[in-house]
Every structure is written in structure tokens, then in C-alpha cells.
Amino acid sequence: MCSYIVDKVRLKGSAKGQAGWIDVDTANVFFDHPYHAMLDHALGIDFVNEREGAQQRIAVELSAESAKQLALSILVALKRGAAEHGEAA
């Protein structure tokens, strides 16, 4: 399906693409046909800077299972990091 569904996550950080590092303020998250990945449907994340017009993006297309593992790993890393650095995750 072509879902039209895009979940916009406002964020603070940087991402690196072919043109080097850029500040990013938004992640566009969707689950739909990928452009490149050898999958029928993929979880896509486009990291962009909307304040600067979102002309560049750093993109990933992941299988559903990979995306779930990644989400869990992010939470695990944040929890461990918070414990080691004494910060709230």
C-alpha cells in the first residue's frame, strides 16, 4: 500500500550524509514501499532540517523486525547511558 502516513518527530541533534554533518530538527517516520531496500514494505526514517527547508535528508529503510530491534536498542542504550552518566533518560 501507499499509506500517506507520516509521523513527524521533532528532535534536536545532528546527522551526517554525503554532504557532511547537518543539524536536524525533524524525523519523518513512515511504513510504506521502500525506494531501495529489498522489501515490500519498510519502516523509513528521513532525518531533515525543516527550518532550513528540508532540502537534504539522511534516510534509512528498515525491515519491520529490524526497526523494532533498533527501537529497543535505542531505549536500552539510553537507559544504560543514563545510569553511567547519572542523567535522566
Partner 1 sequence: MSYLPMTAGIVSFEGNNGDKGEAYYARPNVDRKMGGVILIHHLPGWDDWIQEAARKLAHYGFACIAPNLYFRDGPGTPDDVGARVRARGGVADSQFIGDMAGCQKFLRAQPESNGKVAVMGFCSGGRHAWLAGCSLPGFDAIVDCWGGNVVVDDPKDLSPIRPVAPIDLTEKMTAPVLGIFGNEDQRPSPDQVNRTEELLKKLGKTYEFHRYDGVGHGFFAAERPAYRAEQATDGWRKVYAFLDKYIGPRITV
Residues found near partner 1 in the complex (CB under 8 A) = 1-4, 6, 8, 28, 30, 32-36, 38-40, 44, 46, 48, 54-55, 57, 59
Q: How many residues does this entry show for the chain?
A: 89
Of residues 63 and 70, the one with the C-beta less far from partner 1: 63
CB of 40 to partner 1, least distance (A): 4
Of residues 57 and 70, the one with the C-beta less far from partner 1: 57
Cβ contacts of residue 68 below 8 Å, gap of 6+?
A: none
CB of 66 to partner 1, least distance (A): 15
**Phi/psi of residue 23, each to 5°?**
-75, 140
CB of 84 to partner 1, least distance (A): 36
81 three-state secondary structure: helix
Judge residue 44's burial from the number of C-beta atoms within 10 Å of its C-beta, 0-12 exposed, 13-18 middle, 19 or more buried.
Answer: buried
